[in-house]
Amino acid sequence: MKKRRVVVTGMGIKSSIGNDLKTYWNSLKNGIHGIRPIEFIDTKDLEVKVASYDYDFDPLSYFDKKTIRKTDRFCQMALAASKDALDGQNLLSIHDPFRVGVIFSSGIGGIGTVEKEHSKWLEKGPGRVSVFLIPMMISNIAAGMISIDAGFRGDNMDITTACTSSTHAIGEAFRKIRDGYLDACVAGGSEAGISGLTIAGFSNMKALTKTSDPDRASIPFDKQRSGFVIGEGAAALVLEELEFAKARKARIYAEILGYGATADAYHITSPDPTAKGPARCFLNAIQDAGVTPSDIDYINAHGTSTGPNDRIETMATKIVFGAHAYDLMISSTKSMTGHMLGAAGAAEAVATILALKFGIVPPTIGYLHKDEECDLDYVTEGAREKPIKYALSNSLGFGGHNATICFKKFED
């Protein structure tokens, strides 16, 4: 069967640097980060003092108080981002509801609810634990509630692969539409895991930066990088088969051409030092797209600001692109958003699409000190205006998960 063309017809974002596309894009272009001292939990006994959190998100703008009481923050953000992505588009006016899916991910789900209800259990006994604990904490509830809210009855699932989760969600949604199983799909991810327990866990793994300076906290590819900054947020994309999108005169942001997914099969947290896993993943996405490495103009890197990750991703890029690696524009928008964990890939897909649409590459901010092992063009001087036709968005996750999506500037 002929492969169908898949386009992005809607996007929604909730992040520390913007809760709508215009604000998010303005922050990315201008190098504005959302990293700040942690004020809503007691950090006295924590080594980590900063995070990238969304203090402007107001669930009351989207939901009544009853709904808010029954949902974790990660789910509220997921629903809000999806509502914004759909933006009044009545997909069911043209689509069979059983042909519209939702693939929406979270890395750790309702961890805030788990902490709160566990404290209740210890202090007041099992009878005080919320009847909504289970649906509030399970990571698939966001996908379920998006489908309930919108009436979409096709494939419905949550792909949980740590920091690769929402890139896998978008990639699998793309495949289902391209190969004829769905006609449209809401795909993305959400995370609201900034809690004492989560921070302690990541900190004890030596994964989080312990600097208290927000401007030097998330500094991907910089030689002084010391770990990632935990972030929160959600991003949703509406994917649709091209002819359906045209039929309903939808706005088309970009086209998805290819998707790659591999495993390192090496270690539960450390990347394979040979970089073979991510390298094959990048190449798979490029080949799936039907283009060559030399066609790629821009890469939105996973770029976590951890020592091994940035070095291995750079190595993988050189393996795949050869001499062209030095011509590529590469940036890590985590330098501004922090690491949104299971939502990171979707938020970065939105950034990549906006870069394609406007011909502006967002910068990697905070970069001061060159690392000899990370010697590519990370767009560190500020946003760069340049036409982009093909771009990759990369994600690498604990467990050895790798995922890459190849986007193309839309041309009818």
CA angle 165/109/166 to nearest 5° reads 15
Same domain as 330, residue 233 = no
Under the banding of pLDDT at 50, 70 and 90, the label for residue 98 is very high
Residues 32 and 130 in one domain: yes
Same domain, yes or no: 42 and 174: yes
Residues 151 and 226 in one domain: yes
* Closest by CA position to 156, among listed 171, 132, 140, 179: 140
**CATH (domain of 292):** 3.40.47.10
Same domain for 105 and 48: yes
* Helix axes of 141-150 and 73-86: crossing angle, nearest 10 degrees: 40
**pLDDT exceeding 70 applies to what percent of the chain?**
100
Give the residue numbers annotated as catalytic, written as ranges. 163, 302, 339
Residue 285 has pLDDT above 80, yes or no: yes
pLDDT at position 55: 87
Helix (H), strand (E), coil (C) string for the chain:
CCCCCEEEEEEEEEECCECCHHHHHHHHHHCCCCEEECCCCCCCCCCCCEEECCCCCCHHHCCCHHHHHCCCHHHHHHHHHHHHHHCCCCHHHCCCHHHEEEEEECCCCCHHHHHHHHHHHHHHCHHHCCCCHHHHHCCCHHHHHHHHHHCCCCCEECCCCHHHHHHHHHHHHHHHHHCCCCCEEEEEEEECCCCHHHHHHHHHCCCECCCCCHHHCCCCCECCCCCECEECEEEEEEEEEHHHHHHCCCCCCEEEEEEEEEECCCCCCCCCCCCHHHHHHHHHHHHHHCCCHHHCCEEECCCCCCHHHHHHHHHHHHHHHHHHHHCCEEECCHHHHCECHHHHHHHHHHHHHHHHHHCEECCCCCCCCEECCECCCCCCCCCEECCCCEEEEEEEECCCEEEEEEEECCCC
Residue pair 410/360 in contact (Cβ under 8 Å)? The answer is: no
Confidence class of residue 335 from pLDDT cuts 50, 70 and 90?
very high
Output the pLDDT for position 158.
Answer: 98
Predicted confidence at residue 84, as pLDDT, reads 98
Tell me, yes or no, whether 379 lies in a domain: yes
Q: How many domains does the chain have?
A: 2
Residue 66 makes CB contacts below 8 A (sequence gap 6+) with: none
pLDDT greater than 90 at residue 404: yes
For residue 145, the model assigns a pLDDT of 98
Whether residue 120 is contained in a domain is answered as yes
Domain assignment present for 287: yes
Task: Say if 252 falls within a structural domain.
Answer: no
The average confidence (pLDDT) of the chain is 97
- The per-residue pLDDT for 68 is 96
Mean pLDDT of 185-198: 97
Alpha-carbon distance values, 207 to 185, 210, 227, 237, 377 (Å): 34, 9, 5, 29, 25
Q: How many residues does the chain have?
A: 412
CB count in 10 Å sphere of residue 274: 13
How far is it, in rounded angstroms, from Cα 64 to Cα 196? 28
- Whether 239 and 274 map to the same domain: the answer is no
pLDDT greater than 70 at residue 1: no
Inside any domain, residue 253 = no
Please check the confidence at residue 412 and state whether its pLDDT lies above 90. no
Average pLDDT (208-212) is 97
Amino acid at residue number 265: A
Please report where in the chains the tokens 């790629």 appear, as a residue: 296
- Say if residue 211 is in the same domain as residue 283: no
Residues 81-93 as b/e (b if ≥16 CB within 10 A, e otherwise) read bbbbbbeebebee
> Do residues 81 and 234 lie in contact, with contact meaning Cβ atoms separated by under 8 Å?
yes
Domain limits at 92? 6-247
**Rounded mean pLDDT, 86-113:** 95
Q: Provide the 10 A C-beta neighbour count for residue 323.
A: 8
d(CA 181, CA 308): 38
For residues 287 and 382, membership in a common domain is answered with: yes
- Mean of pLDDT values over 333-360: 98
Same domain, 208 and 278: no
CA 11, CA 307: separation in Å to the nearest integer? 32
Q: 105, 166 in Cβ contact below 8 A?
A: yes
- Banded pLDDT at 195 (limits 50, 70, 90): very high
Q: Are residues 162 and 272 in the same domain?
A: no
